Chains A and B, each alone.
Chain A
């Protein structure tokens, strides 16, 4: 037993935590752990989506008015940007499995830039809402006739897109950390779980936007 133990340490693979038997078991545990977190995130965002659904069924006119105030071109552009960033993220994971450091770096940088583009467009959109007086509590003076519940729509708009943007900002921070670690050569074809796990988070953020875009920008348009 003692000899086994020493032997085990001599061949300890890079990146394997001591509580796991091998890399495959570690990977399985890490992915399951990340999914547990993402499920709590799904239920967290569900609170927002459910609130939206309840109020939209009660005040459909106000919510249609709200949708018309949003810029559909910017919303659609950001949808394309975010889905493209999911593709580059999936490619980064793919390259890390191949053990290609430069490929991984390139796709992670592309993901970071696309995330930045998304946040810049969001900033432009938020600025316009402040100019038009469509920010409940901070700059609320909508022009012309409007439903009294319009403020409810915009409270949900800022709550939901703001929480989504916060997730993007946290994701961008984590991406910088991954970029530094990748550049240092920490990840190999065998040990790349942090990149894969971050990819799951990034795709989750993409999925939230896939629902936010039609709900906030599109419904009640025609």
Chain B
């Protein structure tokens, strides 16, 4: 089978597993450090790194066709749009000084 040549080896899987364990230990350790406003950022960067490693190696995206790359990428792009537009709305409420119905309702 052709796929044997572009499948990851057992060694790759073990290396990926070790990396995920190290990152798990790192995120627990970092949670107890006083990182000020960067604590959340560090935790999310570590989580995103772990997720990427799982997607690329365990889920074989690295070894898949370019169509699949595009497909997966497009899916996560829509997720980013969901987060970015919603948080842009919440973050910018009140910037213009005009009372929105939301602020009137909580007053």
Contact = CB atoms under 8 A, between A and B. Distances in A.
Interface of A: 24, 27-28, 31-32, 35-36, 38-39, 42-43, 46, 49-50, 53-54, 57, 72, 76, 79-80, 83-84, 86-87, 89-91, 94, 97, 189-190, 196, 199-200, 203-204, 206-207, 210-211, 213-215, 218-222
A44 B4 CA distance: 34
Interface in B28-80: 28, 31-35, 39-40, 43-44, 46-47, 50-51, 54-55, 57-60, 64-65, 67-68, 71-72, 74-76, 78-79
Interface of B: 1-4, 7-8, 10, 13-14, 16-17, 20-21, 24, 27-28, 31-35, 39-40, 43-44, 46-47, 50-51, 54-55, 57-60, 64-65, 67-68, 71-72, 74-76, 78-79, 82-83, 86-87, 90
Contact of A39 (B4, B10, B47, B71): B71
A interface: dominant SS:
helix
Given A28-B65, A218-B43, A43 B2 contact: no
Contacts of A27: 3
A94 B21 contact: no
A87 B7 CA distance: 15
Contacts of B60: 196
Contact of A90 (B31, B58, B76): B58
B39 A80 contact: no
A222 B51 contact: no
Contacts of B83: 46, 49-50, 53
Given A213-B47, A222-B39, 20 more contacts: A35-B71, A42-B76, A43-B82, A46-B83, A50-B83, A53-B83, A54-B87, A72-B31, A76-B28, A83-B21, A89-B58, A90-B57, A91-B10, A97-B1, A97-B7, A199-B59, A211-B47, A214-B27, A218-B28, A218-B31
A53 B35 contact: no
A57 B90 contact: yes
Contacts of A54: 86-87, 90
B79 A94 contact: no
Contacts of A91: 10, 13
Contacts of B24: 76, 79-80, 83
B10 A43 contact: no
Contacts of A221: 31-32
Complex A-B, nearest 6 residue pairs according to Cβ-Cβ distance, in ascending order: A39-B75, A218-B31, A214-B43, A221-B31, A87-B17, A203-B58
A50 B82 contact: yes
Contacts of B44: 214
